[in-house]
Amino acid sequence: MWVAVDAMSGDYGPDRIVEGAVSAVNHDGRKVALVGKEEEISEILLKYEYDTNHIRIVHAEEIIEMNDSPSIAVRAMQDSSIVQATQLVADKSCVGLFSPGNTGATMASALLYLGRVPGVLRPPIAAPIPQEHGPPVLLVDAGANVDCKPEYLAQFAVMGEIYSRQIFNISKPKVGILSNGEEDKKGNSVTLKAFEQIRNLPIEFVGNVEGRDLYGAGREVDVVVCDGFVGNIVLKATEGLSKSIFNVLRESIAKSSLAQTGALLLKPTLTAIKKRLDYAEYGGALLLGVDGICLIGHGSSNAQAVRSAIRVATECAEKEVNRLIAEDIKKYNI
């Protein structure tokens, strides 16, 4: 199975992306199509040893920048790395794609050229939120759909439950709706109606959950459903808080020789915690419900994130996540 990787759209150019692709080939046996400027990618590849049968380059001359209008750029820049990577999935030469570039452009390209899984009303972004122990909590939707109807949230619950079961190997994922209280009657008009729809589905529904539950500090939950407006704020706040905590620790340690000594002793523990809470362990966020695997990465994705994303894309294809989504949405009539 080949995975298309947009090699040009990250914040730091193609170096990290190519390094991650080579790592996926050498350590995991994956097959990767690197999409972008052939001359640049070829030059970077010269630094590595790898199975040349497992990496190929697909030339794309244009790059959609972070500040470009997604809908305009995707239609106007047919030879961009994002669009060409999507086309490889559309023509079935790759099972999925990963891009660390313009999120809106990646979504627009996927919707335009791949379309939706039959029955899916609105594809959501499924973002893993790392936990101290066990698999991550899956936040659905993390930004694709700002305004939602109750039936969208019900479909998000079904799609998130399948993803959590198939990729995180949770036998019966617990699904909840993000709300301003655990009581059944808390929430706005959309979440209250979605609550009634989801609790009638044959999934492990735990009801309303609060923000603290996303981080293992309250009710046990594996999939948290919300609209993309709320979900994106939660995701960005989480990322900002985690960075601030580590920055405060770093500054505090630098001010004291005693703290520096303690930090040396604690370095293995601190490194393990950082690794545990690092987004790179999961690669990126999956755009659920498009008819092809599409993973959206951070602009600052490092080699580990790229390798992880390639792994997740391959696993989604191997475990037929899209087929299961189509079957369940039809079966549940939502």
pLDDT at position 216: 78
Q: For position 239, what pLDDT does the model report?
A: 77
pTM beyond 0.85: the answer is: yes
- Using the Cα atoms of residue 63, residue 15, residue 235 and residue 237 in order, give the sign of their dihedral: negative
Q: Is 312 exposed, middle or buried (0-12, 13-18, 19+ CB in 10 A)?
A: buried
- Sequence ranges of the chain with CATH classification 3.40.718.10: 1-117+289-314, 121-284
* 307, amino acid identity: R
Q: Is 315 exposed, middle or buried (0-12, 13-18, 19+ CB in 10 A)?
A: middle
Separation CA 211–CA 103 (nearest Å): 24
Name the pLDDT band for 245 (thresholds 50, 70, 90): low
pLDDT of residue 278: 54
Per-residue model confidence (pLDDT) at position 268:
59
Give pLDDT tens digits for 165-189. 999 999 999 999 999 988 988 999 9
Is the pLDDT score of 235 beyond 60?
yes
* Model pLDDT for residues 11-46, shown as the tens digit of each residue: 888 999 999 999 999 999 999 999 999 999 999 999
Given a contact cutoff of 8 angstroms between Cβ atoms, the answer to whether 165 and 324 are in contact is no
pLDDT tens for 262-320 read 656 555 545 555 554 455 667 889 999 999 999 999 988 999 999 999 999 999 999 99
Quote the CA–CA distance of 177 and 187 in Å, as a whole number. Answer: 9
Is residue 313 within a helix (H) or strand (E), and if so which, with residue range? helix 303-318
What is the per-residue DSSP string for 64-113? --TTS-HHHHHHH-TTBHHHHHHHHHHTTSSSEEEE-S-HHHHHHHHHHH
- In angstroms, the CA 161 to CA 43 distance is 42
Question: Using one digit for the tens of pLDDT, what is the confidence trace for 317-333?
Answer: 999 999 999 999 999 98
pLDDT number for residue 283? 80
Residue that has been written with the tokens 């998000």 in this structure:
156
Q: pLDDT tens, 252-263? A: 666 666 656 665
Q: Given pLDDT bands bounded at 50, 70 and 90, which one contains residue 237?
A: confident
Fold of 121-284: Isopropylmalate Dehydrogenase (3.40.718)
pLDDT in tens, 93-135: 999 999 999 999 999 999 999 999 999 999 999 999 888 778 8
CATH architecture, domain defined by 1-117+289-314: 3-Layer(aba) Sandwich (3.40)
Residue 76 scores a pLDDT above 90:
yes
